[in-house]
Amino acid sequence: MSYRADKAGKGEMIGVRAAVRGSWRFARAFSLDASLGFSFLDGEITGSSSLTPSGSSNSATTPSSLAQITDDSRSGTIQDLDLTVSWRAVGEAVRVWVGWEQQVWDGITTDLVRNFPGTVAPLRDRDSVVFSGYKIGVFVSF
């Protein structure tokens, strides 16, 4: 027996974002740059999950299943932080930077069908997701 499993989460939100950004030049060619932002969102999320028999022994006799839930009064936030060290050359025309950034999405990434009623082995709830990573870049102005 084999099954095809599909799972999806979709969100549509609107909101406001407030952020501050600063730069401290600690040497003639070097600076420390940072930004901190907050987004406040409100909208709708939809979660769906399906299981469809796809094997030759079960596709004709086993029915497909589909669960879908919509939450149209979801609120959430996004916090983002960005830190970089920049080196400027050729006046201000070339800038090379290395840094780190992180975003925390809270309340808007809920998996509505994760522990559907009747789940035999419930999973830990997931209401937030974190994205983070190192970055390197070059800016050239001419």
pLDDT one digit per residue (tens) for the chain, 142 residues = 788 889 898 989 999 999 999 999 999 899 999 999 999 999 999 989 888 888 777 777 788 888 888 999 899 999 999 999 999 998 889 999 999 999 999 988 888 888 777 778 888 888 899 999 999 999 999 8
**What pLDDT is stored for residue 115 in this prediction?**
79
**What pLDDT is stored for residue 116 in this prediction?**
75
**What pLDDT is stored for residue 13 in this prediction?**
94
The edge-to-edge listing of strands for the beta sheet with 3-24 is: 3-24, 30-53, 65-89, 94-106, 128-140
Read off the pTM: 0.75
